[in-house]
Amino acid sequence: MEKDIVQSVLDEWEDDSFGIEYAKFVKADLSDTSLYDDNVDVLYCKPDYESITSYINQWNKSRKRISIKRIKRSFNTPLDSDMILEDGNLHLDMGARLYNTMKSAYGMKWKYLKILKISNPNDKFDVHYYTSEYKLVITKKLTAKKTKK
């Protein structure tokens, strides 16, 4: 009896269909915002191109989603290199415009992405996306060679 309860609890923790979290864009740095007059948000991620799925949202619109891993940047932080966060069920919800930019990134076989979301402050539905390849900042430890006297 107790073994069945433990197994059911373990099954609840292994439920991949529950708890899908959608990635949020954050305000971009000054280097990106200075190029545009509108509101600019950014997302740094590592997409899993093989996990793309189609679905219908609550407004009966066709959407696509892809599983991603967020990249925690070392810029303006005490970290010395970027980190790829294992968020579990983190997905990127894609409409037609975002899907088309992700499709071009998939065609170029980019492993890490920087996605800019440029929105018009006067019209919340006027949103454009630009995707570029992101180079991870990695600090390698130097190997110390022992010298003989």
**Domain presence at residue 29:** yes
Percentage of residues of the chain with pLDDT beyond 70 = 81
**What residues make up the domain containing 129?**
19-133
- DSSP symbols for 33-81: HTT-SSEEEEEEEEE-GGG-EEEE-TTS-EEEEEEEEEEE--TTSS-SS
Residues of the chain with pLDDT under 70: 1-3, 5-6, 15-18, 37-38, 76-77, 140-149
Say what the pLDDT of residue 140 is. Answer: 63
**Domain presence at residue 142:** no
Say what the pLDDT of residue 86 is. Answer: 82
**Domain presence at residue 90:** yes
Q: What is the pTM of this model?
A: 0.77
Number of domains forming the structure of the chain: 1
